[in-house]
Amino acid sequence: MFKRLWGIFSNDLSIDLGTANTLIYVRGQGIVLNEPSVVAIRQDRGPGGPRAIAAVGIEAKRMLGRTPGNITAIRPLKEGVIADFTVTEKMLQYFIRKVHENKVFRPSPRVLVCVPCGSTQVERRAIRESAGGAGAREVYLIEEPMAAAIGAGLPVDEARGSMVLDIGGGTSEVAVISLNGIVYSASVRIGGDKFDEAITNYVRRNYGTLIGEATAERVKHEIGAAFPGNEVREIEVKGRNLAEGVPRSFTLNSNEILEALQEPLSGIVGAVKTALEQTPPELGSDVAERGIVLTGGGALLRDLDRLLMEETGLPVVVAEDPLTCVARGGGRALELITEHGSDFFLVD
C-alpha cells in the first residue's frame, strides 16, 4: 500500500553504476545524469573526526589527486564492484536525489542497477543493499552485457546470436545473447582505468616522469588509439620528473600510447577470442555474419573496432552513443518489467 503510494512521487530509474561514470536514465526523460563515480570525503579534526561528503561527481573528480590532507577523493567502485560500501551508498543517494524532481517527498524509486556478469553473489548483494540504503523502493539487477545489448538496439529477442562487447571503466564484458538470454558471457577486469594505468606506467618507465590519473585519462582521450593510423598526433603533458624532482613538460605521440596500451588491449582481444571459441557454432555463424557490437566508454578509443576486426576477422561495429547504452538498455528493461511483467533477464 505504502509502496504504491510512494511510487506516485518517484520515477523509475535505471542506473549504470560504473567504475568510472554513473549514469541514470529516467523513463520518459532519457539520460538525466552522467557523472564520474567519485566522492570526496572531508574529515576534519584529525583521524577520528567526523566524516562528511565534501563533493560528489564532477566536482569530486576535479579534486582527484589534488586534495589537502583533510579531504580524500575516492572512487568507491573498483573493477565494476563495490569497494567501499558506505560511500557507494551515499553517492547513490546523492545521485538519486539529484535526479528526483519532487523536493518535498523523499525519493523512493524502483531502481534497476546493472552489475558485471562476473560479479559474485556477495558483490551483487552489496549493490542491492547499497541501492536499497540509498532509498530505492525495489531493486532489480541486470547483467551489464544484457543491458548493453538492449540499449544498443540489438535484436536480443530473436533466435539469432548477437555478440556484444561492453568496455567499461573497470571491466570489459563480452557476451553472446540469443532469445533474451545470455548464452555465453565473460568478464575481464580490464577497462578504461587499466588503460590509464598503462599510460602512467609507460610514461614513468620511458620518460622517468610521474603523471596523475587525470592527466593519463586526458592523454588517452586525446591521442589514444588501438590501431596504428595514418596520422601521428601529439600532446604536451606535464609531470614530475623523478630524477630532478621538479615538474617538467614533455610531448607524447599516439604511437607511444598505442604501444603503452598493448597489454590491456591484448587482454580484451583475448577475452573476445575466447568468447568466440566458446560460442556454439550456430550462434557463432550468426555473429560472424553480422559482427560484434562495441558499447561502453572504451568503445570510444580510436580504432578499437579496427583492431578487433583485424584480430578476429569479423565485422565490428560501434553502437550509437556507446557510453549510454547500458543505462538506456536498463531503462528499456524497466519498461518491459512495468508493461509486461517480464523479468526474465533479471538476476538475483
Partner 1 sequence: MVERPDSNRENADPVAPPPGPGERLRRAREGAGLDLDRLAAELHLPARILEALERDDFGSLPPTYTQGYLRSYAKRLGLAVDPVLAEYHRRAGPVEPPPMTAPAPSPAQVGLGRTRHGLYVLFVVLAAAVFLAWWFRGGSGPRPAASRSSPPPAPAVTSPQTAPPIPPAPTPVPAARPPLPRPAVSGAPKASSSIASSAAPAEQPAPVPRAGATAPSSAPSPAPAPPPPADVLVLRCDADSWVEVRDARGRRLVYDLLHAGDVRRVVGTPPFRVLLGNPAAVRVEWDGRRVPVPRGAPGKVVRFSVGTPRAAAAPAPAGGPGPR
Residues at the interface with partner 1 (CB under 8 A): 2, 5-6, 25, 29-34, 41, 50-53, 55-56, 59, 86-87, 90, 93-94, 97-99, 101, 103-106, 133, 152-155, 289-291, 293, 305, 309, 313-321, 324, 328
In angstroms, rounded to a whole number, what is the distance separating the alpha carbons of residues 181 and 123?
Answer: 21
Closest residue by Cα to residue 115 from 212, 183, 185: 185
Q: Give whichever of 108 and 172 is closer to partner 1, judged by the CB atom.
A: 108
Q: Could you tell me the three cell numbers for 305?
A: 573496432
Q: How far is the CB of 138 from partner 1 (least distance, A)?
A: 16
Q: Give whichever of 13 and 203 is closer to partner 1, judged by the CB atom.
A: 13
Q: How far is the CB of 170 from partner 1 (least distance, A)?
A: 23
**How many CB atoms sit inside 10 A of residue 245's CB?**
8
Q: Give whichever of 53 and 346 is closer to partner 1, judged by the CB atom.
A: 53
Cβ contact 171:118 at 8 Å = yes
Cβ contact 336:342 at 8 Å = yes
Q: Give whichever of 248 and 306 is closer to partner 1, judged by the CB atom.
A: 306
- Using CA atoms, how far residue 138 sits from 27, 40, 113, 230, in Å, is 16, 28, 11, 51
Query: CA 171: distance to chain centroid?
Result: 7
Q: How far is the CB of 163 from partner 1 (least distance, A)?
A: 12
Q: How far is the CB of 78 from partner 1 (least distance, A)?
A: 19
Q: Give whichever of 153 and 267 is closer to partner 1, judged by the CB atom.
A: 153
Cβ contact 147:56 at 8 Å = no
Q: How far is the CB of 322 from partner 1 (least distance, A)?
A: 11
